[in-house]
Amino acid sequence: MCKWWIPRERSSTSVIGTKNTTSLSRTFTGNETVVLILGYGNSLRRDDGAGLLLAEKLERLWMDAGVEVKCLLVHQLTPDLAEEISRQGLDSVVFVDARVVAGPPDDLTIHLEPLEPSEMSLSPGHQSDPGSLLLIARELFGRVPTAWLVTVPGVDFGLGESLSPVAQEALDHIPSCLNLPPGRRDAPFPPS
Amino acid sequence: MAQTLHIEPVTRIEGHGKISIHLDDAGQVTDARFHVTEFRGFEKFCEGRTYPEMPGITMRICGICPVSHMLASAKACDNIQSAKVPPTAIKLRRLINHAQYVQSHALSFFHLSAPDLILGMESDPATRNVVGIIQANPELGRRAIRLRQFGQEIIRGVTGKSVHPSWATPGGVRDPLKTEQIEYIKKNLPEAFETVEIALNWLKDHSDRFEREKATYGDFPSLYIGLVTPEGGLEHYDGLLRVMDADGKILEPGLPLDRYREIIAEAVEPWSYLKFPYYKPYGYARNGDGVRPGMYRVGPLARLNLCDFAGTPLADRELRQFRRLANSPGKPVSSSFHFHYARLIELTFALERIAELVADPDILDTHIRSQAKVNELRGVGIMEAPRGTLIHDYEVDETGILKKVSLLVATGNNNLAMNKTVEQIAKEYLSGATITEGLLNRVEHGIRLYDPCLSCSTHAVGKMPLHVQVVDSKGEILDERYRD
């Protein structure tokens, strides 16, 4: 099951769309990359690497469905990715990350939510966040595609290469709304 | 009443790192501690594996300097094999190491430090970030992005991936360079040089604005440790270990790398998991003045103090100007604020070396790997990572199983100096027990001068708010604030 968030100050139509929305009726030519998947995390920190694994799964899934996909797997988000995000011809960018949960009764499914450019974090470290990257893309390159965040629940971020049962279970049950990239006109949408 | 001020970033890994500033009963700063409270444990994690796996494993420690870990590890493995690495493989390793300097130093200067420098340490935090830079100077913002991208693309093109390139291997590298990669580099080098020159000119033109920062952001006597070439030149990949004291006297002119334990030892403190390396002959204990004589600095500032020359025209020209920043002629440049300038000089140096390497016809040679088995039971690999000296030290059995792994990372090497820097900034800018926005920024900037890699273990989700507490000796919170 997909979890959807409707951001305040945006209508559900403009975010999630309907099958007849103009912004979602773009014809895919097959000659260009239209979806960028950006998976990030540390594959040595157990569930922190779940986003990377899901990104690879989504790439295969969507390519098999005939979608032009480019997948980038990175340890952490850095500002230079802004140009990649703002590239002409890109319809959407899908960030794929791990999400910290405490375990039951928390929701242990894969989540999907729309993203918009957001204020910069004042991180003293090297990492950025999706909203900041979108903001850089908009301010610097003048273009931001539709953006989404997909998250895999994780409970164990210790050293290791295997996933916790929680993360593995979620990865084994990718929700049907991700059978195609979010926002595609032929993608299944949750009830309005 | 003695008080403690805590400045604590909150990330998804509990206790990622925090800063506490200790006050005495009179409210004066007596000490500062940069805590790293996350247990890393990579060394134990690696034991029991086979040594050829190590370049691939250790490069996954860090998203910013995976190349340094990969190459230090590969060098340690070379020494376990006693392998003679083909000259072209060494050139290719150097090429991606220089590319890593480009991307890492660009990130540090343009994206992390420039907002403070250009917009002001006391400016509105809502705009004191890279977007603020972009709005103030869009062209510089675009150039900064492209400069980092240039370094990343070289790494991606040569190794196949920009992060976690399992490309260096014991005895050499896996893949040769392709002609189109040389063409990409040659095409984009001119703009990279221009961008660094713009930054250098800006920093020099605005130098007068930072006189107070130069005097208080880590301006103290310390030792310096780093690599130099056998001739004494600036070196990032190999060479010999040199040690200089605060007066510029050379204590060790050139120690072979596998003997590093003769000069470096590590202390531990109960309040941090990050070890405290020190210059072994001078010990860890404080002297009568409360100073630790064994404290040393590594990284761009140290490397430029240690070398006799850079070895490339533009970097040598800048190095001559850099030397004039010393408080006394002939002494090393002692203020950590000059890490910024040193970083830009090293960016220039890296670009010049990249230009040399892609002009070398041997760079396309396909003999890039030697094959060997275990010939030595210990292998040491030492590199200069962008943020300082990085040491990988492995012990194996006859079958190549790792019995002991020791990693001494650059951030650890600067641990004592970072503490001292925070203490100096707090003494200068803290008034009473109230943590102002300005103090927060300055303390963070003081840490950022060393470009520590604390996100090596994981990445943060979303914003990284700061949680600041003023606590008295009984644990009562006197002041507290958050910034997000």
List pLDDT tens digits, range A16-65. Answer: 222 222 232 333 344 455 899 999 988 888 898 999 999 999 999 999 99
Confidence of residue B430 (pLDDT cuts 50, 70, 90): confident
Q: Please give the pLDDT value at position B274.
A: 80
Q: At residue B371, does pLDDT exceed 90?
A: yes
Q: For chain B, what's the residue count?
A: 484
A175 near B CB under 8 A: no
Question: Contacts of residue A119 in chain B, CB cutoff 8 Å?
Answer: 126
**Which residue type occupies B13?**
I
Question: Contacts of residue B112 in chain A, CB cutoff 8 Å?
Answer: 124, 126
Question: Is B454 within 8 Å of A125 when comparing Cβ atoms?
Answer: yes
Rounded to an integer, the average pLDDT of B431-444 is: 82
Q: Is-contact B130 A136, C-beta < 8 A?
A: yes
Q: Please give the pLDDT value at position A173.
A: 96
Q: Are strands B29-35 and B3-9 parallel, antiparallel or unpaired?
A: unpaired
Residues 6+ apart with CB under 8 A from B59: B66, B67, B69, B70, B73, B164, B165, B166
Q: Which of B455, B463, B299, B305 is nearest to B390 (CA)?
A: B299
A140-154, B277-291, B459-473: least confidently modelled range: B459-473
Nearest by CB: B145 against A45, A83, A122:
A83
Helices (H) and strands (E) in chain A, counts: 5, 5
Q: What whole-number distance in Å separates Cα of residue A151 and Cα of residue A96? A: 6
User: What DSSP string runs through A114-182?
Assistant: EE---PPP--SSS---HHHHHHHHHHHHS---EEEEEEEEE---SSBSSPPHHHHHHHHS--GGGSS-T
User: What DSSP string runs through B337-366?
Assistant: GGHHHHHHHHHHHHHHHHHHHHT-GGGG-S
**Which one of B18, B188, B459 would you mutate to disrupt binding with A, by most A Cβ within 10 Å of its Cβ?**
B459
Q: What whole-number distance in Å separates Cα of residue A37 and Cα of residue A72? A: 6
Residue of A nearest to B442 (CA): A124
Question: Is B66 within 8 Å of A75 when comparing Cβ atoms?
Answer: yes
A87 near B CB under 8 A: no
> Distance between alpha carbon A48 and the CA centroid of its chain, in Å?
15
Predicted ipTM of the assembly:
0.79
B188 near A CB under 8 A: no
Q: Are strands B240-244 and B223-228 parallel, antiparallel or unpaired?
A: antiparallel
Q: Which of A133, A165, A146 is nearest to A50 (CA)?
A: A165
Residues 6+ apart with CB under 8 A from B249: none
Sheet holding B3-9, edge to edge: B29-35, B18-23, B3-9, B466-472, B477-483
Range 21-40 of A in CB contact (< 8 A) with B: 40
What residues of chain A score a pLDDT lower than 70?
1-33, 120-127, 185-192
Q: Please give the pLDDT value at position A18.
A: 25
| Secondary element (H or E) of residue A70 | strand A69-74
Phi, psi of A22, rounded to the nearest 5 degrees:
-55, -45
Torsion sign across C-alpha atoms A112, A117, A119, A120: positive
- DSSP-derived 3-state class of residue B271: coil
Residue B474 neighbours by CB distance under 10 Å: 8
Q: Please give the pLDDT value at position B30.
A: 81
Q: Is-contact B27 B432, C-beta < 8 A?
A: yes
Q: What whole-number distance in Å separates Cα of residue B436 and Cα of residue B375? A: 58
Q: How many CB pairs under 8 A join A and B?
A: 134
**Which residue type occupies A33?**
T
Q: Is-contact A52 B161, C-beta < 8 A?
A: no
Phi, psi of B188, rounded to the nearest 5 degrees:
-100, -10
Nearest by CB: B129 against A44, A75, A120:
A120
pLDDT digits (tens, 9 = 90+) for B262-272: 999 999 888 77
Question: Is B142 within 8 Å of A136 when comparing Cβ atoms?
Answer: no
Q: Please give the pLDDT value at position A23.
A: 30
